[in-house]
Amino acid sequence: MTNSCRKGKRGEREAAAEIRRLFGTDARRSQQHAGAAGDADLCDDAIPGYHVEVKNLASVSALKHHRQAARDAKDGRTPVVVIKGSRTPWYVILTLEDFAKSLGRATAPSGTPRQEAESSPM
């Protein structure tokens, strides 16, 4: 197994653990055989309604923009970066935890949904 395969699998396991913590779902690596086209990296119910691909990269240049947004955010506002490449659609970058909160799906450490998340208008 190559280092990149091991790194990818490690990233998928780490992402699944973080999704389990935040969403309280049974997130786990999907059963992939040679990465068949259309298969998600995590099982379909990791984040219901979402196809989850995991990329474990040493460097992502767009993250420096998120760090700037986090530094500059005032009054407890959630840092979000809206980014677009040439001839691409617009994308949103935010932390997995902030994504979970925005969906009203964040869980308390015990795995039970947080009260404020349940009353979220989203």
* pLDDT value of position 114: 46
Binned at pLDDT 50, 70 and 90, residue 115 comes out as: very low
Token code pair at residue 66: 């998120």
pLDDT in tens, 36-89: 667 889 998 899 999 999 998 887 888 999 999 999 999 989 999 999 999 999
Check pLDDT > 70 for residue 118: no
Binned at pLDDT 50, 70 and 90, residue 108 comes out as: low
